[in-house]
Structure formats: structure tokens, C-alpha cells
Amino acid sequence: MSGVVIIGAGHAGSQLAVSLRAEGYAGAVTLIDASDALPYHKPPLSKTFLKDPAALPQPLRAASAYKAAGVTRLTGTVTAIDTAAQTVTLHGAALDYDHLVLATGARNRMLPDLAGAANVHSLRDLADAERLRAALADAAHVVVIGGGFIGLESAAALAAMGKTVTVLESAPRVLARVAAPETSARVEATLAGLGVTIRTGFSAGGFTRQGDRIHAVQGAQDTVPCDLLLVGIGAQADTALARAAGIACNQGILTDSHLATSAPHVWAIGDVAETPHWQADAPLRVESVQNATDQARHLARHLAGAAPAAFCTVPWFWSDIGPLKLQIAGLALGADRRVLRDDGARLAVFHLAGDRLVSVETLNSPADHMIARQLLDAGLTPPDAFMQDGAPAMKAWLAQA
């Protein structure tokens, strides 16, 4: 078969498959995934999907889009890579490649104490979401472990369904690693308004188990009862396949700035890739739709014949937490100063490293987010007064900059 073989048909792999053709690649394109589902959007799984029992997965693109691009979709788990022979093993048979792209994504972390419990859930793929949605029918009190994006989005959705929801977070505030304190505070207050109980500084010390069910989470002072437990404590790149093939890995599969791994003709994109980041000055694994699709398009151009270039885009991300739309542009790494604008309904937090704008976080303020992306793309920092004034002022400043 040869040509380009892509392992993983998530946001990254699916985009690469169709972009290769759009960029003029003439060889075979084979897209392999463990699931036979038409590749779908992951973000709705923790937002709208849980609330509507009739909701269907939302395809990334129509089945006809793969056919039109001459992409062969295969179902199955790739079990081995032979980088010397340039083959992968699928259903026990060898499949040749000219180029192999690892787009295998990430898996949720699980607490070892909870393994195998029937009422413990996590959210990564459609099967997880369907299992959770079905189990919710018999659950009144849901405990969410982890105050990160997926945990908080799910908490808001579950509260809207009338569930009693408690979020347990070991850090002093939710979103502690990814957002400013002002953002965390607004998110906590909004969730509280929806009836969600948020317990920060709560370390789960143990679990009360009866048979195959968890009935309570034990903290230092008290015990929180639950019918259902949703664990959202982050994800880990699935590097097992790459490691076994001798491909260099750290947290993720290590790549250079062109997305090439340590093995010839093997590339990695999306959640699984740990790639030098222009804003971090270090290799970084980024979990976002934008990163996955932009890396896919970048690699497609190169595999279709464009000269190699460093991957370098302004990262952006969103999270819908009940009535809050959180939007983040850029990375706040190394930031030492914040400029704020808060009118009660909307919040904009500008992160600066010295006098350079590096990231902007907004709540319900899409105008600020859109301008932030353009500012970061241009490498421009407006004076503080313009950021405090508002998006129209920044737009006017950008137009004359």
C-alpha cells in the first residue's frame, strides 16, 4: 500500500488525511483507527452531548469527504511499528509505509484505587460519553474528581440536568495550572450559582467501596457520598507503541520543530506529540483542537512537497463551562504581570512577560479573544490603557500599528 499511513483518526489524523490531498499529495493515504466511528468532534462530549439523550456524535467531516480525497479508512488497533522495514502491524499483517504519522492522542489518567469500579467514569471518547450518559439515569449525586476543563464543563452540564454535583479539587483553586486567579474565581462563583458544590484543597485520601461500586470519597475531614464518580485528572500521551519501536519519547513522542520523530519517515502530531514550542522555548505537549489541526495542515504541506518549516502558530483554546465561554490565546508561560478588565459580566486577563503580551484569557468576551489572536500573531503589544479600554480600542490601535 505504502504512501502515507496515519495511525489515529482524531482531530489531527482526520485533518491530515484530507489536507494531504488538498495540498497535492499524489500517493496512497491510509487512515487507521481503533474505532469504526466516522471521526467526530471531541469537545461536545463534555458539553452538550451528556444533556441530550438523543444527541449523536458530530462528524468532523462527511464520509464522502474521505472518499473524494481518496483516503482509505481502516479499522483496527496498530500493534507494532518496524521502523527499519517501514511497516506497521494491523490485524497481524504488515502494512508498508513511505511515511508514517502517529496521531494516537492521549488517554485519561485514572486513580489506581478506582480501577474496575462499575460506577467510575472518565471522558475521552464517544464510548466513554455514551457509557456515562446511560449511567446518569440512575445517579442523583455525582462527584467529579478534578477541577480542570473537562471536569468543570461536565459539572455544569450535570447540574443543568438536575444532578447534585460536587467537584473535588486538591489545589487551592480550580483551573490552577491553566488560568489566572481572577478567572478561577469567576468560574467557581458561576458554578456555585448553578448549584455545584466546589471543594478546593480537597485531597481524596481513600474510597468507600462496596462490591464493585464506590459509595463515597474520603477526605482529611469528612466523607463525600456519591452514586457516580467522574474522574477528570488529566491525560497522558499514549507512547507505548512508539517506545516499543525505539522512537524517542518523553511525556509524549518527541519531535523536532518540523514534527519529525527520531525515526526516519516517522512523524507525530496532535495530543501525542511533544514539539518545540516557540512561546515556551522548550518541547511541549499541547492538548487542543487548534494544535491538532494546525500541526496536521503543517505536516500535510511538507509531505506534499513543501520545504520543511518550523511549526509556529498562535495557540488558541476554548472551554464552555455552563454559561461561561472561556477563551485562551497564547501561552502564559513566563508571564510576570497581568492587566485586567472586568465589568462583572465579562472578564479579560492580559498576561505579559515584561512588556510583551504573551497570552489573553477571556470570559464571555469573544471580541477580546479575536483581537488577541491577531495581536499575538503580529507580535504586537498595545499600551496597557488600550487593553483596559476594550476591544474596539485595541482594534483601532492594531489598525494603525
Partner 1 sequence: MPTITFVEPDGTRRDVAAHPGESLMAAATRANVAGIIAECGGSAMCATCHCYLVAGTLPEAEPLEAETLEFVARNTRATSRLSCQITVTDTMEGLVLQVAPQ
Residues that bind partner 1 (CB under 8 A): 41, 43-44, 58-62, 64-65, 68, 289-290, 293, 316, 318, 320, 325, 327, 365-367, 369-371, 374, 391, 395
Angle between helices 181-193 and 149-160 (to 10 degrees): 20
What are the grid coordinates assigned to 394, written together?
A: 485595541
Question: 27: burial class by Cβ within 10 Å (0-12, 13-18, 19+)?
Answer: middle
**Burial profile 106-133: b = 16 or more Cβ within 10 angstroms, e = fewer:** bbbeeeeebeebebbbbbbbbebbeebb
User: Could you tell me which stretch among 6-14, 93-101, 181-189, 250-258 binds ligand FAD (CB under 6 A)?
Assistant: 6-14
- 104 touches ligand FAD (CB under 6 A): yes
Of 247, 281, 279, the C-alpha closest to 261 is 247
Cα(315)–Cα(166) distance, integer angstroms: 31
> Which among ligand FAD, partner 1, none contacts residue 32 (Cβ within 5 to 8 A by kind)?
ligand FAD
Write the binding mask 51 to 80 for ligand FAD: x where contact by CB under 6 A, - elsewhere: --------------------------xx--
Of 231, 233, 236, the C-alpha closest to 217 is 231
**Of 3, 4, 6, 13, the one binding ligand FAD by CB under 6 A:** 13
The string of DSSP letters for 37-94 reads SPPB-SGGGGTTTTT-TT----BSS-HHHHHHTTEEEEES-EEEEETTTTEEEETTEE
Other beta carbons less than 10 A from residue 385's beta carbon: 10
CB closer to partner 1 out of 86 and 154? 154
Radius of gyration from C-alpha coordinates of the chain: 22
Write the binding mask 348 to 367 for ligand FAD: x where contact by CB under 6 A, - elsewhere: --------------------
> Which among ligand FAD, partner 1, none contacts residue 45 (Cβ within 5 to 8 A by kind)?
ligand FAD
> Which among ligand FAD, partner 1, none contacts residue 104 (Cβ within 5 to 8 A by kind)?
ligand FAD
What are the grid coordinates assigned to 157, written together?
A: 452540564
> Which among partner 1, ligand FAD, none contacts residue 147 (Cβ within 5 to 8 A by kind)?
none
* Contacts (Cβ under 8 Å, ≥6 apart) of 255: 261, 267, 268, 273, 274, 275, 276, 283
Write the binding mask 243 to 282 for ligand FAD: x where contact by CB under 6 A, - elsewhere: ---------------------------xxx----------
CB closer to ligand FAD out of 187 and 352? 187
CB closer to ligand FAD out of 3 and 13? 13
**Of 6, 18, 29, 43, the one binding ligand FAD by CB under 6 A:** 43
**Of 4, 9, 142, 214, the one binding ligand FAD by CB under 6 A:** 9
Shortest gap between Cβ of 63 and partner 1 (angstroms)?
9
Residue 137 phi, psi dihedral angles, 5° rounding:
-55, -35
- Site for ligand FAD, rule CB under 6 A: 7-13, 32-35, 42-43, 45-46, 77-78, 103-105, 123-124, 150, 238, 241, 270-272, 287-290, 292, 317-319
